[in-house]
Structure 1
Amino acid sequence: MKLRYAGALLLSAAAYYVYLPLPGGGDAAQSLGVCHRAHLLNKVVSWAETIEARSSATVHVSDGELGGVAARIFLSKGDRKPKRGVVYFHGGGWSLGTGRMRSYDLLCRKIAEDLDAVVISVDYRLAPEAVFPDQYRDALAASRAFLSEEVAERYGLDRHRLCVSGDSSGGNLAAAVAQELGSDATMTAHFKAQALIYPVLQALDFHTPSYQQNKAVPILFRPVMAHFWLLYLGADPSLESALLANNQSALDQMVFDPAARSRLDWATLLPARRKKNFRPLVVPKGTPGLLERAPALLDVRAAPLLAETDVLARTPSAYVLTCEYDVLRDDGMMYAQRLRDAGVTVTSDHYEDGFHGCLSFAYWPVASGVGRRAVDNYVKWLDGNL
């Protein structure tokens, strides 16, 4: 236990070191020639947080694959037949982490035990080796397999009671998968629910009220989120300052579909109490060629908030968890509103004392009250909606 506590402290220190900015837009790890920042932090994660697959009296846990993608499988030993199921995508900016981390292992184990269900946590490929659409394709392949007759027979799943879920960048993948498969008429089964935990859903506006309010609030700083986006999209990291200035959505960017603007217009999609006194940042002239250098900024598979209304209407009932002290708060709130406008049943679960990543702070040695409440309410929603 003491080793785990020391590991948590080391992980925090490493995160600070890895994202320490240097003059000229560089970062400490790469500038010192150690390794890519994502590789360094993942090494620390592997040492401090990754645990072996260990079964218990109530849940059988094993490592395997789903749709050709590495995964950890949590199979309840309860009597329910057939079982409900959840496919889960971990967070980490599409470049960090694994479903084998202690916090994710405990979360998925709890879901499986409390719901007498099957939970499969997917280890999609990570940046920088894999870039968009690789992570999306892994998530889609795993989800198609999860909905298949073959996997249902293997694990005793009820194909009518399945959910796609994830947090942060994993919430992004879950939303994108729900859109794609909800519109796929060839599927013989569809997800009954989507559960999105502080999802990241767009990279066209880094000046939403939550980005302005929480730009320097741990654990997800505004520049770090811009960095993650560029890493995911395989774009030049030197574009970070342009993204943070909202140059990608400037008025002179003619390739930016005007209709897409309304899909992230927080002035109309957010309630007044969230907008507060913040004002939209509208840039007259952007960085020339920016969208040509990072075209996936406009790809709905990368930015699900940009999807058309009819696509959203075909997605399943949704649970959207947001936190007040999180730059991504408004991404989730805007998406929840757009889903409602499309006729989708949505449960919004907002935590006034919440912060990004709080679900991972539900367990010792970094347990927090809001983390425990968030986990309990999330699992309760799954139980009542699957």
Structure 2
Amino acid sequence: MELLIPIFLLAVTLVVAMVFYYEHPVANIPPGFSERRKLYVLHYVMNFGFGMAILLEKLGIMSEVSFLRAIMDGIPPLKDKRLIIKDLIFENIQVRLYQPKTSTTGQRRGVLYFHGGVGRFGSIRAYERTCRYLARKTNSVFVSVGYRLAPEYPYPTQFQDCLTATIHFMKTAQDYGVDPARIIVCGDSSGGTLTAAVAQALVNRKDVPKLRAQILIYPFLQAADFNLPSYQQNAKIPVLIRERTLILGLKYLNKDLSAVNTLLEGSHISEKGRQKYHKWLSVDNIPHEFKTRGYTPPGPPAPFSDELYELAKPFLEPLFSPLLCEDSVIAQLPETFILTCEYDVLRDDGLLYKKRLEDHGIKVTLCHLEEGFHGTVFLAAYGKVARFQSGIKGMEKIQKFLRLM
């Protein structure tokens, strides 16, 4: 028995060492961040999860994506007596509908929620707390869309599922006590990408009502420029460090990961593409206060690669990069709420989209979380151990916006 204890400790040490060998990016959190220690803990926990996923796959125990899905799903919450919760099928798409039990005069607003997870993980169950919380607090009917995931269902299945579920709900809204003129699409991270893409896809449809609004929570909106100020400033800040952003995107599209460095340098953009995207991606469109933490204008453009361009073509489609959509579509989008986080590589995507929308007369409400980081709103629905003050503030701002719709 005495011999088993050191053997067990040695085995645990080896496993931990191997896990961090596979995933150990260095974090660099600014000293002024008020919950700095807590964010460091989250960073190492996430690194351990990503590393363990890779190790388990290499050992043939389970796939990387299966492990990450199981971790993100977590433990489901207890029953909620304040909501009627139903699992439904919208045109072969699994959804979960949340209806408040409180009485109301007239029809409620309806919100379709598209979860994050880079198209590969995340689920209705993972976002159960988020949707329950917002449905209760805003007296809204929420529909959490369980779109199918890659790699089993390759891109752009995720967008197609979200669009299909949205159209179905818009046509049947009154069956669920929802006013068809008060339907909102909402999503966080890659779910924000899906939200923006769905809103764009609906602008020219005549068979459904117009969306009342879209809510984009720290969305990924473009894959043309990975050297914006937010990418430079937050390259090593958890949880979405710069390299991880590209790696997750490449895995989502089932592309070769060896392209990460050349994509970061911009070798997938031709001179013609640079000229086209410049008016939308110019750093001049980002307010000065967002450059004060440092920004170095990039040098001469990286050499263009035809091979990389072919590989990255899906990256530049509006479905994947909604910020690159044409003006004729942007001009027809609904009122918009955009949440950005100061310590997030995707911050400037949101700021640039705000500028594009406002230039076309679209009303935009910006919620910028000064101490926010990628994922903070998702964590806000959990207990004190997991949530951060920035996430709580973000949730409050989303609630306030929804109540006005």
User: Which category describes the TM-score, using the shorter chain as reference length?
Assistant: 0.7 to 0.9
- From 177, 197, 204, the counterpart of 1:183: 204
- Alignment partner of 2:284 out of 268, 280, 301: 268
1:320 is aligned to 338
1:74 to 98, 110, 116: 98
Q: Cα gap change, 1:10/1:131 in structure 2, threshold over 3 Å: closer, same or farther?
A: farther
Match of 1:259 in 2: 276
| TM-fit CA distance, 1:188 | 3.0
- For residues 126-205 of structure 1, what are the structure 2 equivalents within 5 Å? 126-148=149-171, 151-184=172-205, 186-205=206-225
Question: 2 CA distance for matches of 1:285 and 1:141?
Answer: 40
The answer on 1:84 being equivalent to 2:105 is no
Assess if the C-alpha contact under 8 Å between 2:57 and 2:63 holds in 1.
yes
Instruction: Provide the rounded CA distance (Å) in 2 between the counterparts of 1:219 and 1:297.
Output: 22
Letter in 2 for 1:348: L
**Please, which of 148, 156, 169 is the counterpart of residue 125 of structure 1?**
148
Instruction: Find the partner of 1:106 among 121, 129, 133.
Output: 129
Taking a change above 3 Å as real, the CA distance of residues 10 and 207 of structure 1, as seen in their structure-2 partners, is closer
Match of 2:236 in 1: 216
Q: Is the 8 A contact 1:131 1:231 kept in 2?
A: no
Structure 1: distance between partners of 2:139 and 2:312: 43
Cross-structure match for 2:259: 239
Residue 59 of structure 1 is matched in structure 2 by: 83
Secondary structure of 1:294's partner? Answer: helix
Work out the CA distance in 2 between the residues paired with 1:177 and 1:200: 14
Return the alpha-carbon distance in structure 1 between the equivalents of residues 64 and 224 of structure 2. Answer: 24
Which deviates more from structure 2 when the two are superposed, residues 85-94 or residues 236-245? 236-245
Query: Alignment identity in percent?
Result: 35
Against the structure 1 CA distance between its residues 246 and 179, is the aligned structure 2 distance closer, same or farther, given a 3 Å change threshold?
same
SS of the residue aligned with 1:189?
A: coil
Equivalent pairs counted in the alignment come to 361
**CA shift in 2, pair 1:42/1:188, >3 Å:** closer
- Residue aligned with 1:120, SS: strand
Q: 2:246 is matched with which residue?
A: 226
Which region of structure 1 is more displaced relative to structure 2, 298-307 or 236-245? 236-245
The amino acid across from 1:175 in the alignment is A
Structure index of larger Rg: 2
Residues 1:336 and 1:10: Cα distance change in structure 2 (over 3 Å): closer
> What SS does structure 2 have at the residue aligned with 1:263?
helix
Question: 2:43·2:239 contact (CA, 8 Å) conserved in 1?
Answer: no
Mapped to 2, the partners of 1:31 and 1:237 lie a distance apart of 17
Q: How many angstroms does 1:32 deviate by?
A: 4.3
Does residue 45 (structure 1) correspond to residue 61 (structure 2)? The answer is no
User: Where does residue 310 of structure 1 map in the other structure?
Assistant: 328
Aligned to 1:247, the other structure's residue is in SS state coil
Structure 2 unmatched runs, 5+? 1-39
Q: Distance in 1 between matches of 2:55 and 2:359?
A: 45
Q: Which amino acid in 2 is paired with 1:72?
A: R
- Partners of 2:343 and 2:107 in 1: how far apart? 40
How much has 1:197 moved relative to structure 2?
Answer: 0.3
Residue of structure 2 in register with 1:16 after alignment: 47
> In the TM superposition, what is the alpha-carbon distance from 1:333 to its structure 2 partner?
0.7
Q: Distance in 2 between matches of 1:70 and 1:10?
A: 34
Q: Distance in 2 between matches of 1:179 and 1:369?
A: 32
Q: Deviations along 1:259-313, whole A, 9 cap, x unmatched?
A: 1232222x12101111234133352303441121221112111100001222111
Q: Who is 1:6 aligned against?
A: none
Moved more, 317-326 or 371-380: 371-380
Contact 1:89–1:173 (CA<8 Å) still a contact in 2?
Answer: yes
Q: Is the 8 A contact 1:361 1:367 kept in 2?
A: yes
SS at match of 2:102: coil
CA contact (8 A) 2:265 2:302 kept: no
Q: Distance in 2 between matches of 1:205 and 1:49?
A: 38
Q: TM-score, normalised by structure 2?
A: 0.83
2:234 and 2:112 map into 1 onto residues whose CA distance is: 30
Q: Distance in 2 between matches of 1:129 and 1:11?
A: 29
Read off the aligned partner of 2:351 and give its amino acid letter. Answer: M
Q: Per-residue CA shift, 1:313-352, capped at 9, x if unaligned?
A: 1110000000001111011111111110111000011011
Consecutive unaligned residues of structure 1, counting only runs of 5 or more, are 1-8
Counterpart position of 1:289: 307
* 1:95 to partner: Cα distance: 1.2
The alpha-carbon distance between structure 1 residues 32 and 239, as it changes in their structure 2 partners (threshold 3 A), is farther
**For residue 242 of structure 2, what is the amino acid of its counterpart?**
R
The change in CA–CA distance for 1:224 and 1:242 in structure 2 (over 3 A counts) is same
RMSD (Å) for aligned C-alpha atoms: 2.4
Relative distance call for 1:89 and 1:343 in structure 2 (3 A) is same
Which stretch shows the higher mean deviation, 256-265 or 198-207?
Answer: 256-265
Give a deviation string over 1:122-157, Cα, whole Å, max 9, x none.
111112222321111111111111211xx2132011
Q: Summarize the Cα distance change of 1:215–1:284 in structure 2 as closer, same or farther, 3 Å threshold.
A: closer
Distance 1:34 1:246, change over 3 A: farther
User: Any conservation in 2 of the 1:322–1:349 contact (CA below 8 Å)?
Assistant: yes
Per mean C-alpha deviation after superposition, the further-off stretch among 301-310 and 59-68 is 59-68
Q: Distance in 2 between matches of 1:55 and 1:232?
A: 34
Deviation at 1:71, TM superposition (A): 1.5
